[in-house]
Structure 1
Amino acid sequence: MKNKTFYTILTMILILSSLLEGLDAQILPMVAKEQETPILLVGGTVHTGDGRVLEDTAVGFDKGTITFLGKASDLDANGIDYKIIDITGQQVYPGFILLNSIIGINEISGVPHTNDTLEEGDYLPNLQTVYAFDMTSTFLPPLRFNGVLYIESIRSRGVIPGTSSVMSLDGWNWEEAVFKRAAAIHLDWPSALSSYYDAETNSRMLRPNTSYEKITGELEKLFSDAKQYEQMPTAQTNLKLEALTDLFQKERVLVIHVNEPKEIIESITFAKSFGIDQISLVASEGSLEVVDFLKENKIPVIVPPTYNLPRNDDMDYDAFYGLPTKLQRMGIEVSMYHVGSLSNSINLPFYAGTSVAFGMNKEEALKTITLHPAKILGIDDKLGSIAVGKVASLFVSKGDALDIQTNALTLAFIGGKQIDLEGPQQLDYKRYSAKFDQNE
């Protein structure tokens, strides 16, 4: 028995050692140091994120805040001794914001202990994902390398999965990374129809969803209880109801996930009936049929990836490619997010680039992943564009950041801190480039 135990332990040590040998290419980037020296980026083309493009413009920032934007020749340093970085010929962009993401709380879907989206319960408005956010997630370095510097973290399960948090992609832990602890409460509105497989016709058919009235009834009761709770300051603390009162007091935005036109109108009307004015919609092509209603109620729309093929035979080939452009031209404020394989979240800037190929102005497309998401999250006074007084979270690219062929970051800053852009992929590139060079 002792020998068996000894050999079992020895085997485990050998396996662990072999695994550790391969980890040199999986080391995560170092956490950035606080900005110690004022920095002035000189000679670049600045895409401010609010629609402007400023040629040969300098951007200065100190202690994490943008202090100058203009011609370097017009700089009045006011005693600030800037470190000059020449970026002539390169492009400057505000950091991109990834909305509605489970990155950081879900690493491997099939491994439960890496998945913090599995909370029990369908109505959890008080649940904040910030406490579970993992700064060692292997998804973070590739995102930073493509210019995504902030994530809205939220679970994807339940009718009310919780309250989202805005996380910066730099820090030792969630406490250092959190930018806004409570940003939006998400609501997954039920569908009035459900699909089923019909063996006789060998096709998918639709029928009324028997759970629709039950779920909407439960939502009606929950929000009514929260409204009454708000008016009872001496009531015993109820965390769920207390979280919902933030919506009534305009401290949070309500993000409704729904696509069918009928349900879009019903869900927004429901929210409005409780005095909730700050509403955003996560929807797809169904939003096109209720554009007038959305404009009337000033509802911004968050659309899925443009990298999508038609779901039905009667859909146009470019139904998803051109969706953001169609909505934007109709007067809807559009943002983008990612859904699907987490590793493909790095394509966020190229979703915006696809909308440019299908008719959207390039600077308007940039807004869909910078200023518009910042407005939805209530952080546009700090992030989303490059302006004096805002947080210095920006990056420099050799080419067009929305073009998959030319986007190539050379510098990136989060809150003025210069971050390391190298991740596992870049280290592997260097490792194998050196190997093949030796064989030549």
Structure 2
Amino acid sequence: MKKLTYILALTSLVSFAQQTPAPKQTKSILIMGGTAHLGNGKIQENSLISIIDGKIATVIDGTLVRPAKHDIVIDAYGKHIYPGFIAPNSTLGLVEIDAVRASDDESEIGEFNPHIRSIIAYNSESKITESARPNGVLLAQVTPRGGRISGTSSVVQLDAWNWEDAVVRENDGIHMRWPSSYARLGWWAEPGGIEPNKKYDEQTKAIQLFFDKALAYANSDKKVKDIPYEAMNGLQNGSKTLYVNANGEKEITDIILFKKKNNIQKLVIIGGYNAHKITDLLKENNVSVLLRRIHDVPNSEDEDVNLPYKIAKILTDKGIVVGLENSGDMERMQTRNIPFYAGTCAAWGMNKEDALKLITSNTAKILGIDAKYGTLEAGKSATLFISEGDALDMKSNKLTHAFIDGRQISLESHQTVLYERYKDKYEGQSTKSEVKQ
């Protein structure tokens, strides 16, 4: 009986396994006639997109030229073509089942862990990762959680055998959680107001002390190797970005002062709920924002109930480079909804193509991968997809093709398998019910 149970369990795992990664592109591909949303704010109607050796060879107006012969021709007339969407500050591939501790690799014990590299724990065969691709999410920044300095993130593409194959940019930045200047009382069901955080100065001084020690180590002869301090290298020369989680106006202001004091070249605010109140300071110091999940309620009773939907437009209108992130409850499962967050921004004042930049070119720029990803341009990676409708609209977005580095990837997941399995069953029950009535 035990042997039979084991065989059934193994069969179940195999039947719902991750789709086999697509092989390297060997044949030239031509996508004809679609409306290409370039990701830089522009649109190319009736486009011709040529893909050769994993890269975009040309993106041109199909009415002006006769296309060269290609091995594979895809008819995209009436459809829409987009750059692959990017999910920053994500824990995709780090946790599979929240209730199973052995499958949770998103955090480590301790307060200061810059040397913890999330990419080592990344599971390229995660079923959750697979479920994001049918909505056009093809790249992600795999990010650790926990502690004051959580660790080092890396950027991956979402169709690979292992983390080595998946990595797009390894060790792109260090993630830190800035202390809050206030503390909330009570709990979510019975909030009890707020009070000043009496340990705020102490906590910020601890951060500064760690940075001082890391700088002293960098300037020493390094006779004794210190791995955490080694990991801090790159913040002063700009080869790594410092990503800091903060939402309050005071906190963000203090972080910018901290940036100046420590000569940090690249700083990104994650969350940034009140960043719209200090836009001049952000722009003056070249600070970008990965805006927190916008499908949320306001923080204060006296704020516009629709403020979370409008913050992206307020910031971009002031010249701030803004991307959208999705950390929080059910964040891995919700990754597939990032395109619709951008759609909400468009519904609340942003131009549709500018809203698209929030999850394509802007995010690519913030993550330092814009030389290869984020837009449909000649010479860049052919990481893109074709949708029958508007990719920022939950109702009409339906992918027909998706490519990562020119490789046509599968759009199946365990969810699409279950959908196909039970679709006929429930359609049949609906027909029987109608007959009885």
Scaled to the shorter chain, the TM-score interval is over 0.9
Q: Is the 8 A contact 1:187 1:255 kept in 2?
A: yes
Q: Is the 8 A contact 1:229 1:235 kept in 2?
A: no
Structure 1 residue corresponding to 2:80, chosen from 85, 91, 108: 91
Q: Is the 8 A contact 1:25 1:427 kept in 2?
A: no
RMSD of aligned alpha carbons: 2.0
Cα distance between partner residues in 1 of 2:416 and 2:218? 52
Structure 2 gap segments, 5+ residues each: 432-437
| SS of structure 2 residue aligned to 1:248 | coil
| SS of structure 1 residue aligned to 2:26 | coil
Q: Is the 8 A contact 1:25 1:428 kept in 2?
A: no
Corresponding residue for residue 35 of structure 2: 45
| SS of structure 2 residue aligned to 1:164 | strand
* 1:15-414 paired onto structure 2 within 5 Å: 15-20=5-10, 22-23=12-13, 26-72=16-62, 74=65, 77=68, 81-197=70-186, 203-339=191-327, 340-341=329-330, 342-414=332-404
| SS of structure 2 residue aligned to 1:247 | coil
Alpha-carbon offset, residue 233 of structure 1:
4.7
| SS of structure 1 residue aligned to 2:275 | helix
Structure 2 residue corresponding to 1:422, chosen from 389, 412, 423: 412
Moved more, 20-29 or 300-309: 20-29
Cα distance between partner residues in 1 of 2:306 and 2:179? 27
Structure 1 gap segments, 5+ residues each: 1-9
Report sequence identity in percent. Answer: 35
Moved more, 41-50 or 216-225: 216-225
Cα distance between partner residues in 2 of 1:175 and 1:359? 41
Moved more, 271-280 or 284-293: 284-293
Cα distance between partner residues in 2 of 1:115 and 1:92? 35
TM-score for both structures, normalised by structure 2:
0.92
Alpha-carbon offset, residue 315 of structure 1:
2.6
Q: Is the 8 A contact 2:83 2:383 kept in 1?
A: yes
Alpha-carbon offset, residue 159 of structure 1:
0.8
Alpha-carbon offset, residue 428 of structure 1:
1.4
Q: 1:241 to 1:430 in 2, by over 3 A?
A: same
Q: 1:203 to 1:428 in 2, by over 3 A?
A: closer
- Which whole-Å deviations, capped at 9, do the CAs of 1:182-208 have from their partners, x for residues lacking one? 11111111112112239xxx7523233
Cα distance between partner residues in 2 of 1:333 and 1:425? 35
Moved more, 22-31 or 211-220: 22-31
Total equivalences in the alignment: 425
- Which whole-Å deviations, capped at 9, do the CAs of 1:362-385 have from their partners, x for residues lacking one? 111011001111111111001111
| SS of structure 2 residue aligned to 1:181 | strand
- Counterpart amino acid of 1:312? S
Alpha-carbon offset, residue 430 of structure 1:
1.6
Cα distance between partner residues in 1 of 2:250 and 2:48? 49
| SS of structure 1 residue aligned to 2:149 | coil
